[in-house]
A and B are shown apart, each in its own frame.
Chain A
Amino acid sequence: MSTAQILFLIFSAVVVAAAVMVVLSRRIMRAALWLVLALFGVALIFALLDASFFAVVQVLVYVGAIATLLIFAIMLTRGVMDDSKAQLNRGWPFALLVCLGLFGGLVYILSQWNRFNSAAPALPQDAYDLTLFGLALTSPDGYLVAFEAASVLLLAAMVGAIYLALEKRGN
């Protein structure tokens, strides 16, 4: 087994264990901290995929911003849910069944695919030019439509979030 494989197994074990704790942990604040660990593990997986830019963006956006936002929301709504009671719905065995079925189905379908076990090609010297990526993102010949769609989505989300969370005084 190569070093990369051992690293992958360690990182994925961390990610999966932390994800299971996010779903099962009784106290919501602990679940949020496990989520931070899972997101860090995903950043490490990105680094293994030679996508170091996205590893850094993952830490900045998810661990830096989204996790902070979630913890704020937890603290604003704390004490409403009783920690000592079960945190899962009554129908959770059905949910487990659905998820196990989906996982088995996905793995079965993927294993039929003839490129399932393909190895990674060697990374070319110029595969990672972020300046060119930025230019392609904003050029009409490149991905301008996707870029603009993401911008409009963020603007709409910002306006919506401000409107929803604003305390309406006077009524």
Chain B
Amino acid sequence: MIPLSWYLILAALLFCIGLFGVLARKNSVAVLMSVELMLNAVNINLLAFWRYLYLTSTAYNGFVFVVVLFAVAAAETAVGLAIIISAYRSRKTVAAEDFTALQG
């Protein structure tokens, strides 16, 4: 049987890899892909906690969290890519460090 700790460590590792991508990648599309990795790590955690600690036939808390997170991930990708394409049209770049229009 797999102990809960394995899932939690895998999720932590995946989250940290995604965080590194968000902090270090230049291309903003790659930053969005790293955010997807982080959201997936959270989903692994939620489902592992559901399976190991809250497994009852009437409470669907874990499922509801995961479903809402899927919706959030889809919305985040759609809006993020729209912003990137819109910024690309006006500035002809996708490098995150060049998006300085909001800089004070």
Contacts and interface: CB of A to CB of B under 8 A. Distances in A.
Given A42-B40, A99-B19, A164 B12 contact: no
Contacts, number: 252
A103 B16 CA distance: 6
Interface residues of B, number: 74
Interface in B18-40: 18-21, 23-27, 29-30, 32-34, 36-37, 40
A49 B79 contact: no
Given A153-B72, A165-B86, A136 B24 contact: no
Interface of A: 2, 4-5, 8, 12, 15-16, 19-20, 22-23, 28, 31-32, 35, 38-39, 42, 45-46, 48-51, 54, 57-58, 61-62, 65-66, 69-70, 72-74, 76-77, 80-81, 86-89, 91-92, 94-96, 98-100, 102-103, 106-107, 110-111, 115-121, 123-124, 126-127, 129, 132-133, 136-137, 142-143, 146-147, 149-150, 153-154, 156-158, 160-162, 164-165, 167
Interface of B: 1-10, 12-21, 23-27, 29-30, 32-34, 36-37, 40, 43-44, 47-48, 50-53, 55-58, 60, 63-64, 66-68, 70-79, 81-86, 88-89, 92-95, 97
A142 B59 CA distance: 9
A73 B68 contact: no
Nearest to B98: A80
B64 to A, nearest CB: 5
A91 B25 CA distance: 10
A16 B25 contact: no
Q: By DSSP majority rule, is chain A's interface helix, strand, loop, or mixed? A: helix
Shortest 7 CB-CB distances between A and B: which pairs?
A157-B75, A95-B23, A164-B82, A23-B21, A92-B24, A161-B82, A165-B82
A107 B94 contact: no
